[in-house]
Amino acid sequence: MSETIYDTLIIGGGPAGLTAGLYTSRAKLNTLLVERMIMGGQVMTTTKVENYPGFPGGIDGPDLMMRFQEHCQEFGLQVQYGEVEGLEDLGDMRRVRVDGKDILARTVIITTGAEPRKLGVPGEQELTGRGVSYCATCDGAFFRNQTVAIAGGGDTAAEEALFLTRFASKVYLVHRRDQLRATSILQERLRENEKIEILWNSQVTRTEGDASGLKAIELTDTVSGEKRSLDVAGLFVAIGVTPKAHFLADVLRLDPEGYVLTDAECRTSMTGVFAAGDVRKKILKQIATAVGDGAVAAIMAEKFLMDQE
């Protein structure tokens, strides 16, 4: 039996990957989407998405992603679970290594997204899962009537701080500057919430705890350098994301932060390979832009295949 050569192999099942899959399957390209763990990407840890068009009043992240998947199923998108370990250009096709096995495809669309950045402070790793968390939606409910802190000043930190007030008695938002990066509507909601206190010019420099979990965090004033300890049961880290493109470092052009470099049509430095969504170097990371990227990458992959024939 001859080995299957897919028209398109998509790596990653978040909004960009599912959109690319929808487009290529609908265009009747033989498409396989490979997902490492859970379909839906970072949106799966978002409680409410308020800025994706078509859902007045907002929609829960997992619900939105379920709709994306159902939509792809309508067009017969094939899905395989596994970890992609490598990518190689064979000239007229690409070889993708998944869990030690090779899969061949004429085009590849990389939509692996990004993962939460770590603070890199003493105790953080040891206390992860025992007070230190990177996902308020996942772990917030463990901190009912307790005091928690959230590190970061962007949209994620603001949204997670607001979400945590459903459970925690007090939420400190620890930000290293005197101005938030979060959009003004979120800043307004933070100010209006009595449970939230913003600690300006403050950096978490240590986490303190024992086998039973996190007890306190050390805060360093970024202006005076002064240190103090703050008793908290939970620390949520929301200081941005880092792209999941390590496995591509030797084969594709990445920027210094590890994002995949593409042109405006989502072409990477390897022929027949495209990148879409948060893994790609770009200015705005939103579900709407990931969806836009996914569509562009899919259409460009289709065009590439037509040009080859």
Q: Which residues are catalytic?
A: 135, 138-139
Helix ranges (H only) for the chain are 15-26, 61-74, 124-127, 136-139, 155-164, 184-192, 287-308
Which of residues 12 and 152 has its CB atom nearest to ligand NAP in the complex?
152
* Cβ 189 to ligand NAP shortest distance, Å: 11
- Least spacing, CB of residue 250 vs ligand NAP, in Å: 27
Q: Rounded to the nearest whole angstrom, what is the least distance from the CB of residue 88 to ligand NAP in the complex?
A: 31
Which residues, in sequence order, are bridge partners of residue 206? 218
User: Between 94 and 244, whose beta carbon lies closer to ligand NAP?
Assistant: 244
Burial 59-82 (b: 16+ CB within 10 A, else e): bbbbebbeebbebbeeeebebeeb
Nearest residue relative to ligand NAP (C-beta): 154
Nearer to ligand NAP, 267 or 285 (CB): 285
Give the whole-angstrom CA distance, residue 276 versus residue 258.
14
CA-to-CA separations, 257 to 109, 241, 303, in angstroms, rounded = 20, 10, 30
Shortest CB 81 distance to ligand NAP, Å: 26
**Beta-strand pair 114-116/132-133:** unpaired
112 vs 156, beta carbon nearer ligand NAP: 156
Please give the residue ranges that form the binding site for ligand NAP (CB under 6 A). Answer: 51, 119, 151-157, 159, 176-177, 181, 203, 238-241, 284-286
